[in-house]
Amino acid sequence: MATTAEKTALPSEIETFIRGVMDDWKIVGLQMCAVLPSGKTEYGAFGFRDDEDRPVDLDTYFGIASCSKAFCCFALSQLMQDYSTGRSLTPTLKPLPSGLKTFDWQTPMAKLMPDKWALFDPYASDRAALIDLVAHVTGVAPHDLMYVPGETAEEVIARLKYLKPSRGLREESQYNNLMYMAVQTLIADLSGIPYTDFIKTRNFDPIGMTSSTFDVEAVRASQNITQGFTFTGPGKDIKRAEPHFIRDNGSADMLAGGSGILSNVKDTSKWIKTLLAHGMDPSGNTPLVSEQLFKVMTQGRYLSEVNGALFPELSPAIYSCGWFRYSMQGHELFAHTGGTGRARTLRPFKMGVSAYTCIAPNDNMGFCLLSNTGVRQPALRSIVHRIVGQQLGLTQIDWSRRYLEVMAKVENAQKEKVVPRSADAAAPHLELSRYCGTYKNAAYGSFTLHGPGSSPSIKGDAVISVFAAINSSPSAPFPDEAHTTPQLYAEFNRIWCTHLRFRHKEGDTWNVTAEALYPKGWGVDKTPFVRMWSRWEAMFVLEGEGDGAEVKGMKWMENMLYPPQTKQVGDEERTIWFERTSG
């Protein structure tokens, strides 16, 4: 699968190793750059950017996904410096609110954005500092299904106040894109210009990242952007192409701070050199941020891997401002994964982006790897670990094999959780049609369930028709249940999915999956397919007895949808409530 698309400057041994990793992990296309201790920068481009087998080259655009978070924190540090020195390269800089003259990582968000910031828990809302937001320790779970394509970041964070916390402030790391939406909103408010303009003028331009952008539509027009690839179906063996997860510029603002940058390794190599120089631009003439602020950004603050590292040669990772910090065989690294599948939880139901940026600060090395295949961050990390080990003369470890074994265990555990509906399962208390209707949550919005006997409508018929096409496709996720298990369906247009599938489990408990449906295919292949995103349980709550009972609403089991790293008393009772608003 891994075909070299253009001659690279990488040593042949490393090229061969990379192609082997790509084959083992079924990676369709990949770019990489390596800034080495010698000062030499090496580049590589491998495989294909789309399902027409057009090759990846060094100018091909990839989404860097959550590797964008480091830029967001870098920008916030620049604003801290602007206010502390009284000098700014941004002429539209606004006065700080609440009588503040300066601010830092310990400043509460409530003081900086008093009219736009509010959490459900008043204690956390008042005391959550900037460092808590960017280090994912506000106590709020990810809630990645609450934001809708076309929304702005400001519109999304206005609904944070409806999300009950699953942990206390600073109690446990819970990776959270929502908080980066809040931080990017703050940067835009203080700078007086859109967040994307601030990143361009204060970072892309001085660093020389001339290709990097947030403009999805312009990049698509260049004809040199990767499609995403996913492996779907019951056996995860059907390769299908998907569009970039940010479909158009209407959603670019919302995801800009946490995952919005489009770039290539020609540009990201300049970012790596800036990081190796502690915030100095590649020319060596301009410090973009002070040495002290750079140190705070990269030093790590909160334990991220609370259950320990995966392997004895690695330390548990700590997290700070858009960076994980850990050691590999005694050598410090700060790094970040990017992608629509979380590498540290290895959740296998995500679309096609994987990225990895890694800096070895004490050994003067840095790397960026960009891929168009989902949930391949461990493979990218394996490549970096191999090169770092080779450069430093460390004992060589087959990192790729190790991570593949971990992935296999995770996928087997996921399969074991999918228990077919028991033949003697208690039937739903009501006829299926009486569960249909519209359900609403203040944070998540609404959706309408359709199914057998539901009121005929153009929209409902369309939803049922789409699922009928998907259920007869080779990628159908539950082929054995298509005609044996009662099912209800809803359109649920979100960044990560398009629909919800409810499969009856027992009584009024149902298995739910968020799925991205492509009834007309995508790219070259126009046949239907589906990609699953996540699964959890929901319970309908009835009011009344017998034939007079009515559905009051439903509870989503939050601990299954967004499982925390540690278990606590009460986790099983944490739910997301949807009120039924119409039948």
**How remote is the C-alpha of 306 from its chain's centroid?**
20
Q: What is the DSSP string of 53-105?
A: -PBP-TT-BEE-GGGGHHHHHHHHHHHHHHHHHT--S-TTPPPPSTT-S---T
Lookup result for tokens 């049609």: 433
Q: Which of 163, 354, 175 is nearest to 258 (CA)?
A: 175
- Quote the CA–CA distance of 220 and 246 in Å, as a whole number: 11
Residue type, 244: H
Edge-first strand order for the sheet with 509-518 is 445-449, 437-441, 575-582, 550-557, 529-543, 509-518, 499-506, 487-491
CA distances from 557 to 15, 104, 121, 162, 295 (A): 46, 37, 20, 16, 40
Whether the pLDDT of residue 5 is over 50: the answer is no
Of 4 and 401, more confident: 401
Angle between helices 399-417 and 12-25 (to 10 degrees): 10
222 burial via Cβ count (<10 Å: 0-12, 13-18, 19+): middle
Does the CA dihedral 465-469-475-478 come out positive or negative? positive
What integer pLDDT is reported at residue 343 of this predicted model?
41
Query: Phi/psi at 111 (nearest 5 deg)?
Result: -80, -25
Percentage of residues in the chain having pLDDT higher than 90: 85
What integer pLDDT is reported at residue 7 of this predicted model?
40
567 burial via Cβ count (<10 Å: 0-12, 13-18, 19+): exposed
Q: Which of 134, 212, 221 is nearest to 178 (CA)?
A: 134
Is 391 within 8 Å of 363 (Cβ atoms)?
A: yes
Average pLDDT (573-579) is: 96
Strands 228-232 and 238-242: antiparallel
Q: Which of 381, 283, 374 is nearest to 336 (CA)?
A: 381
- Quote the CA–CA distance of 351 and 124 in Å, as a whole number: 33
For 518-562, write each residue's pLDDT tens digit. Answer: 999 999 999 999 999 889 999 999 999 888 899 999 999 998 899
Contacts of 412 (CB under 8 A, 6+ apart): none
Whether the pLDDT of residue 342 is over 50: the answer is no
Whether the pLDDT of residue 301 is over 70: the answer is yes
Whether the pLDDT of residue 127 is over 70: the answer is yes
Q: Which of 83, 96, 186, 173 is nearest to 135 (CA)?
A: 173
- Quote the CA–CA distance of 2 and 44 in Å, as a whole number: 12
167: left (phi over 0), alpha (psi -120 to 50) or beta: beta
Q: Which residues pair with 35 in a beta bridge?
A: 41, 366
CA distances from 160 to 74, 126, 144 (A): 24, 14, 12
Angle between helices 69-85 and 177-191 (to 10 degrees): 30
pLDDT band at 85 (very low <50, low <70, confident <90, very high): very high
Give the CA angle between residues 289, 293, 298 to the nearest 5°. 110
Tokens (6 digits) for 524: 């070259």
Right CATH for 12-71+193-414 from 3.40.50.10800, 3.50.50.60, 3.40.710.10, 3.30.565.10: 3.40.710.10
State pTM to two decimals: 0.95
What integer pLDDT is reported at residue 423 of this predicted model?
85
Residue type, 394: L
- Quote the CA–CA distance of 110 and 98 in Å, as a whole number: 9
For 380-415, write each residue's pLDDT tens digit. Answer: 999 999 999 999 999 999 999 999 999 999 888 877
pLDDT band at 284 (very low <50, low <70, confident <90, very high): confident
CA distances from 157 to 254, 522, 561, 567 (A): 10, 32, 20, 27
Q: What is the chain's mean pLDDT, rounded?
A: 93
Percentage of residues in the chain having pLDDT higher than 70: 96
Lookup result for tokens 């959603």: 251
Contacts of 219 (CB under 8 A, 6+ apart): 61, 213, 225, 262
CATH 3.40.710.10 in the chain is located at 12-71+193-414
Average pLDDT (28-53) is: 96
Q: Which of 275, 273, 248 is nearest to 262 (CA)?
A: 248
What integer pLDDT is reported at residue 4 of this predicted model?
40
pLDDT band at 236 (very low <50, low <70, confident <90, very high): confident
For 460-499, write each residue's pLDDT tens digit. Answer: 999 999 999 999 999 999 988 878 899 999 999 999 999 9
What integer pLDDT is reported at residue 121 of this predicted model?
98
Q: Which residues pair with 332 in a beta bridge?
A: 327
